[in-house]
Each structure stands twice: as C-alpha cells, then as structure tokens.
C-alpha cells in the first residue's frame, strides 16, 4: 500500500539517502540528513541541522531538532517556518531506537545503540555516549553529560548541569536536583555528579552539587544531602550509611 506523497513535507534541501524509509504525516526540514536504513515513523518532525544515522528508528510523533528558547522567541517574532530553520546540529548515531513521542532538542549528540522509551525529553547541549537507555517519561533538562551503558529508568529526572558517568543505574523516578534555595536566595544552579557504577534507587533524590562516588548504592526513597563514599550503601531521609557493598557484588 502506497502512502499519498502529499502527506509528507520534505524540504528540497534535506538529504534523504536511498534505502531509508519515511512514513506519512512527516516533516523533514532544511539541513536534515537521513542515512540509509534509517526508519522515520508517522507524524515525526525533524528540523535541521540534524543527522539520523544508519539503522536508527524514530517512532511516531517524535520531534528531533526542537529549537532552543532564544531561537523559539525569534521564530515567533519573525513568523519563520520551522521547516526552514537550521539550528545547531543534533546527531542520532547508528542503530538507535527512539520511541514514539520522544523530543530531542538541537545541539544534542546521542551515541550508537542507544534507546529511549516513550515521551522522553532530551534538551540542548547534552551528550550521551553509547549503549545507554533513556526510559519512558525521563527528562534530561540540557547541559548534561552521560556516559556509556547507563540505564535511566522510567521517569528519572536529570536537571541542567548534571554529570553522569558510565555503567550507572538511575532507578524509576530517581531525581537529581540543582537548585538549593528554590528562589529564596541567590544561587547558581549546580547539578550533582554521579560517578561510574553508581545505582540510585527508585524515587531517591540527590541534592545540588553532591558527588555520588564510584559504586555507591542509594536506597529507594533516600534523600542524599551530601557527598557519598565509594562502594557504600546509603538509605533514609536524610540518607545515612547502612553497610559496605559486599565484595561479591559488582
């Protein structure tokens, strides 16, 4: 069954490789490159500059290359069409699965073999390395660095200026925070640093600027108010030392 070609809008200066697939109700803007074997589902909008590399799947209704705030304001002022826009490059590398409803801003780089769940949000100036999973409804608010083999579970929240190492597990609805005084006192936002091999339990909260050291395990619902030590398990509100991690564990 052929789609009606009039149901797609592809900018003449977009570059769509042979052997890619673009479904109906899609919009591909100026400065977008869709490599071979990439799969663009129904209702997707991709704005330039953007590269979707070989073998990557973009699910229904995703928006790739969403404009950043300052551009958005100018765009409205000048009534510029998004399809003609060329913002800072967003790159989705090879063999990624970007599930339906995900929004990825301009100036983001996502490594090979990454996956998102549904309705994930990844804002600008963010770099995510390879083999990392970004769960459904999880939010990465921009200016964030994330390593390889990270498992970001459903609903996790990663605010501006956070740093996450390799092999990290962020449990469901775990939250990093960056705003210590919550509008009550002047404060420069500072995100936490989550070192390699850390596991954060479901619904845990990490305070602004806190360093969660290599291999720490944070219990479900724990509120982490200060830096942790390596390979310790901490639990409670506020989080306290429970025990060392057994040598038999990773």
Q: Which residue, 51 or 200, has its beta carbon nearer to a copy of itself?
A: 200
Cis peptide before 238 (omega within 30 of 0): yes
The nearer residue to a copy of itself, 33 or 152, going by C-beta atoms, is: 152
How far apart are the C-alpha atoms of 38 and 41, rounded to whole Å?
A: 10
Find the shortest distance in angstroms from Cβ 211 to a copy of itself: 17
- Taking the C-alpha atoms of residue 190 and residue 180, their distance in angstroms, rounded to an integer, is 8
**Min separation Cβ 201 and a copy of itself, Å:** 7
Cβ 75 to a copy of itself, closest distance in Å?
Answer: 7
Which of residues 39 and 209 has its CB atom nearest to a copy of itself in the complex? 39
**Chain CA centroid to CA 201, Å:** 19
- What is the nearest approach in angstroms of a copy of itself to the Cβ of residue 145? 19
**Least spacing, CB of residue 81 vs a copy of itself, in Å:** 7
Cα 216–Cα 153–Cα 45 angle in degrees, nearest 5: 135
Contact partners, residue 244, CB within 8 Å, separation at least 6:
231, 232, 233
Exposed e or buried b per residue across 23-58, where buried means at least 16 C-beta atoms within 10 angstroms of its C-beta: bebbbbbbbbbbbebbbbbbbbbbbbbbbbbbbbbb
Q: Which tokens hold the place of 69?
A: 């705030």
Backbone angles phi, psi at 127, to 5 degrees: -125, 130
């Amino acid at each position: 069954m052929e789609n009606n070609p009039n149901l797609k809008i592809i900018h003449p200066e977009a570059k769509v490789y042979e052997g890619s697939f673009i479904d109906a109700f899609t919009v591909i803007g100026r400065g977008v490159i869709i490599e071979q074997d990439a799969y663009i589902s129904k209702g997707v909008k991709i704005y330039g500059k953007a590269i979707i590399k070989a073998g990557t799947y973009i699910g229904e209704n995703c928006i790739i290359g969403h404009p950043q705030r300052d551009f958005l304001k100018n765009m409205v002022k000048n009534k510029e069409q998004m399809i003609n826009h060329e913002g800072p490059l967003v790159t989705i590398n090879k063999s990624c699965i970007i599930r339906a409803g995900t929004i990825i801003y301009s100036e983001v780089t996502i490594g090979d073999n990454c996956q998102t769940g549904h309705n994930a949000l990844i804002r600008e100036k963010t770099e995510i390395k390879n083999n990392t999973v970004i769960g459904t409804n999880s939010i990465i608010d921009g200016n964030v660095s994330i390593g390889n083999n990270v498992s970001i579970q459903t609903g996790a929240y990663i605010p501006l200026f956070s740093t996450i190492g390799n092999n990290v597990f962020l449990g469901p609805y775990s939250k990093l925070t960056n705003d210590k005084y919550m509008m009550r006192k002047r404060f420069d936002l500072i995100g936490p640093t989550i070192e390699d091999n850390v596991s954060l339990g479901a619904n845990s909260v990490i305070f602004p600027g806190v360093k969660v050291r290599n291999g720490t395990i944070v219990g479900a619902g724990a509120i982490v108010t200060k830096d942790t030590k390596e390979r310790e398990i901490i639990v409670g509100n506020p989080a306290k030392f429970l025990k060392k991690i057994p040598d038999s564990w990773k």
